[in-house]
Amino acid sequence: VLSFIIFICYIASLVTSFFMAPLLEFLLALFLFFAYASKLNEKFKGLYWPLSDFLRCVTAAIIYFAISIAAVSRYNDGASKAAGVFGFVATIVFAIDFYLTFNDLVAFLKQGSSESPEERKSE
């Protein structure tokens, strides 16, 4: 929802060159939401879904932080300032999300390293 709000703010502002990042992030979040809702993560076991979510959150936090700084510092219209402020909020939200996802990722890697090589071969 936050990515969609930022997308709308960038469309209404003078900074139309930045609207693609929130649009792509919104579409990726929508895809992952529907993938989890329709249990695609259980059907496609070859892809580790929390890792893809972690990478999405890391890149989104970095990109939102960079374009928010540019939007707030360069442009003076209200919509770009609002998009920049919402971008900083999104940066914090994505940073919290990738921290929580990182903890799940570490727990998974610790679980996977505790298996013996014979157990891995039998799978």
pLDDT (average), residues 105-123: 61
Whether the model clears a pTM of 0.85, i.e. scores above it, the answer is: no
Q: What percent of the chain has pLDDT over 90?
A: 15
3-class secondary-structure state, position 33? helix
Residue range 45-98, pLDDT digits in tens: 777 777 888 888 899 999 999 999 988 888 888 888 898 899 999 999 999 988
Q: Which two tokens stand for residue 96?
A: 């919290």
Distance (Å, whole) CA 109 – CA 90? 28
Burial class (CB in 10 A: 0-12, 13-18, 19+), 80: buried
Q: Which two tokens stand for residue 71?
A: 């939007």
Distance (Å, whole) CA 23 – CA 29? 10
49 contacts 35 by C-beta, under 8 angstroms: yes
pLDDT at residue 92, as a whole number: 94
Task: List phi, psi (to 5°) of 114.
Answer: -80, -10
Distance (Å, whole) CA 33 – CA 103? 20
pLDDT at residue 93, as a whole number: 93
pLDDT of 107 strictly over 90: no
Distance (Å, whole) CA 54 – CA 60? 10
